[in-house]
Chains A and B, each alone.
Chain A
């Protein structure tokens, strides 16, 4: 296939940017691909950074999405340590921090997101850390030694996964969450209560409704100070309170942005030759009839595949139901769908057995499922979400009816 733009520049060499290059070459695209990454490493998987890699169970090169030889062999010009300063849509160039300019015929923005910073005193102290990149983990991990005291600010996926690793490595871990429950932004109260209990049983001090006022210390962090006046002594603090999408380059170039770079179903922005994918894209969520931003591997891979197809004028791959996972201790949480707007939650299985699922329904239809060590519930649940299937809550709650049978009845 010789069609498509002559030069495709991809700004951002994370999972989404990498996938775009791989999909273009897999489809036979023969033009020039320049993949620009701010970090020193080639495209890599981020999920293990708060899981197996943080625990020290994986070497860095096992995180790489493709072996380093791939890029030369497939003529993908990977430029690491290359921060883009400006996009010029009229001249069709990107301007690098080095001062160099690169001309493109089509542009893919895959700039991802960056951790939100805490606007509190002491947030700059040595020992106050975040977790997004390999470099972050390489700074964090040497401090996570047995006996060290770690405060985790924010009980989202990242914070809880890091708390689990910390606890398993023998640290004294305190989790501070401003909301009345953990995972409040992403899961229902049953999941929140379950995970709070699991962490407490592992010795983690989980503080809910805790308001952090600041960190104490001269140059190194020594304590976290709560609004109650209480101080929690610590050697390090990990802040995991969500991310900001990196939309500034797009906004300054004049593209439509909101909570993300606004794109259509084909991931095209308000400029016909510019696409945006991954964490930074505000995209149609076709299973839910609205738009939103997703921060996930699924979204990164799918955006890369869809943008590559659009660039080559090929048929668009179908959108999958959004899916997520989280590994904590011996538990695998698998989520399909988005539970926002649910009017009913159905529990299947006993949380005490450490294998159960929560189905989220709206007007009788399955919106989402959270499955803990429950693969059948996850896989069938995902199909039910895709089909917007109506399933009787009593059937979902009845473990004597297998997920295969539920699937057969609901999807036939």
Chain B
């Protein structure tokens, strides 16, 4: 048996056993996720004991398919996306065995929700410019500063935190990465209400918050490298979701056309164009998944996030246009409320008007479309980067504002 076949047999056997011993339709989700973790089917490429079977990451798609076919609960991935989608990869690549042992299982079972503390008021797209300070004090670090746009921080037990530990070095080199207890003294979380009135995200303030050195990820000064691992996982997690044909916002557009459409041939043609663009994107995602599964990822794996952001904005705007004056109303009204992970806007069906508002975030969250185009241009097409005036300056000398 070749290596690949042996790995396939191992994964298939573990999956068959999991589904037989823990039938998804009768086992509560938390218990199922625990069993899935123990079976090594949480992140199948991770080490045994860390929720994996130490096989090729290409088997992830196989595991997803089997789970979907069996009707197993998989919503932990979206509800705890920052933990399961990003933090896990950070711990696998940069964490110690003790750290993986402590955090991975409760992350996967949703006993502990995670958030990501990267952006700051002065560091958005240019996240390496961040200024939250961590200063060593014996076996602890003392943190001061402010983070922003922190999704689910108000529900989170743990945060992935990047701090500046050496302001005398150029910006990428003076950073250190931690896991912070969100309930610790000196960590304060305030909701930030967004365009729809909902608060999916927060501001987080650090006022002499203390982090044990055991929660440091990788070396002092390695924060940028660890952040890159996080962001790469983020873009895969956001761009890689597939919905069935005709579902999601284009489904709402079709429904609106059938309800409110005036039969205008030009509008109908525009709807067909949008439907075609969405279907082309969907097929491209399927192609990307197939190639990832085969271990031959290509450029098609990187286009989804950008394409989705632009298209979803267009489709939701089209739907509201179809509603005529109805589009001047918003059925949910506006109330300021902090989200929960079950009910957050990205997890439920919104009115077309609210979906239209929420869509504005698609081209900003998880890397703006401008940054995504830079990434496609530079990393996929190999075009040269912009000249950077701040690259070799000590961080403390870089102009800010």
A binds B: no
- A-side residues, CB < 8 A to B, are none
- B-side residues, CB < 8 A to A, are none
